[in-house]
């Protein structure tokens, strides 16, 4: 008699500062939840020093839990919906087995491209009034030991899901060094945001972000195109390919 394999274990990791986490009440019970706190004093959270923003938090979890990870881990910020408005649906679909993560999956509705100095996206960003530049070239060399690419394609928001197998492509010491880099390198969280998929030795834009297109939206953004119901480069018509079932 054929026996069905057990469903994959799924953990939601939340990097919290002072955000309202009432939304966690809607997380499916099948998911375990770990909250790291850098400012709220939450009684059931794991306290961390307030350095390195969400990058330091994610890397702390990866460094300390590399050998005891769930089959799939979802990493999000305390206020995840600005960049991933469909997060609850994503979590429900995972919990109910309607979709799966085979390797790495960016969360978010906007994929974009930046250059190694951040001049295309980061420098003109409204939350960067000093017009600071990123040092992605130096960051990439310190993190990976090799030169970085001419362009970084990524999903905006620094939120993603990754499998245990993908995490274990890197040794534990890599995540410890990366955690130190997140705390000490200039603007490190923004550098990590642009290369989380590379941390796990994959390219999370393949099959999702149209080739040769620097920016892709996966939902209508009316404020960018007020005369249109959808922007002309909306990628949801192309859509991400169906994710393969989680390998047993």
- Residue 242 dihedral angles phi and psi, to the nearest 5°: -55, 135
Residue 152 parent element (H or E): strand 152-155
Q: 10 forms bridges with which residues in the sheet? A: 72
User: What CA–CA distance (Å, rounded) separates 107 from 25?
Assistant: 20
Among 155, 163, 59, which Cα is nearest to 107's? 155
- Residue 114 dihedral angles phi and psi, to the nearest 5°: -130, 160
Q: Do residues 39 and 130 lie in contact, with contact meaning Cβ atoms separated by under 8 Å?
A: no
User: What CA–CA distance (Å, rounded) separates 187 from 192?
Assistant: 9
Cβ burial, residue 126 (10 Å; 0-12/13-18/19+): exposed
CA 145 remoteness from chain centre: 22
Residue length, the chain?
Answer: 248
Q: What is the pLDDT of residue 41?
A: 85
Hey, what are 145's tokens?
């030991």
User: What CA–CA distance (Å, rounded) separates 241 from 165?
Assistant: 21
Q: Do residues 241 and 97 lie in contact, with contact meaning Cβ atoms separated by under 8 Å?
A: no
Question: Would you call 38 helix, strand, or coil by DSSP?
Answer: coil
For the four alpha carbons of 191, 69, 177 and 150, in that order, the dihedral sign comes to: negative
Q: Do residues 155 and 90 lie in contact, with contact meaning Cβ atoms separated by under 8 Å?
A: no
pLDDT by position in tens, the chain (length 248)? 665 667 789 999 999 999 999 999 999 999 999 999 999 888 889 999 999 999 999 999 999 999 999 999 999 999 999 999 999 999 999 999 999 999 999 999 999 999 999 999 999 999 999 999 999 999 999 999 999 999 999 999 999 999 999 999 999 999 999 999 999 999 999 999 999 999 999 999 999 998 889 999 988 755 544 444 444 455 543 333 333 332 32
């Amino acid at each position: 008699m054929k026996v069905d394999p057990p469903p994959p274990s799924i953990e939601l990791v939340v990097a919290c500062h002072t955000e309202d986490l009432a939304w966690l009440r809607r997380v499916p019970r099948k998911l375990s939840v770990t909250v790291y706190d850098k400012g709220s004093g939450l009684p059931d959270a794991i306290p961390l020093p307030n350095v390195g923003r969400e990058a330091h938090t994610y890397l702390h979890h990866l460094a300390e839990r590399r050998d005891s990870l769930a089959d799939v881990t979802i990493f999000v910020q305390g206020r995840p919906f600005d960049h991933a408005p469909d997060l609850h649906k994503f979590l429900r679909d995972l919990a109910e087995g309607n979709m799966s993560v085979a390797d790495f999956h960016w969360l978010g509705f906007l994929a974009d491209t930046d250059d190694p100095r951040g001049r295309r996206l980061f420098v003109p960003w409204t939350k960067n009034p000093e017009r600071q530049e990123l040092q992605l070239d130096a960051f990439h060399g310190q993190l990976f030991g090799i030169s970085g690419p001419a362009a970084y394609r990524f999903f905006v928001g620094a939120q993603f899901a990754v499998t245990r197998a993908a995490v274990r492509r890197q040794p534990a010491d890599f995540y410890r060094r990366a955690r130190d880099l997140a705390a000490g390198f200039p603007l490190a969280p923004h550098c990590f945001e642009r290369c989380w998929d590379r941390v796990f030795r994959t390219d999370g834009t393949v099959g999702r972000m149209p080739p040769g297109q620097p920016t892709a939206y996966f939902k209508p953004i009316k404020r960018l195109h007020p005369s249109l119901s959808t922007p002309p480069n909306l990628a949801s018509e192309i859509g991400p390919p169906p994710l393969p079932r989680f390998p047993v």
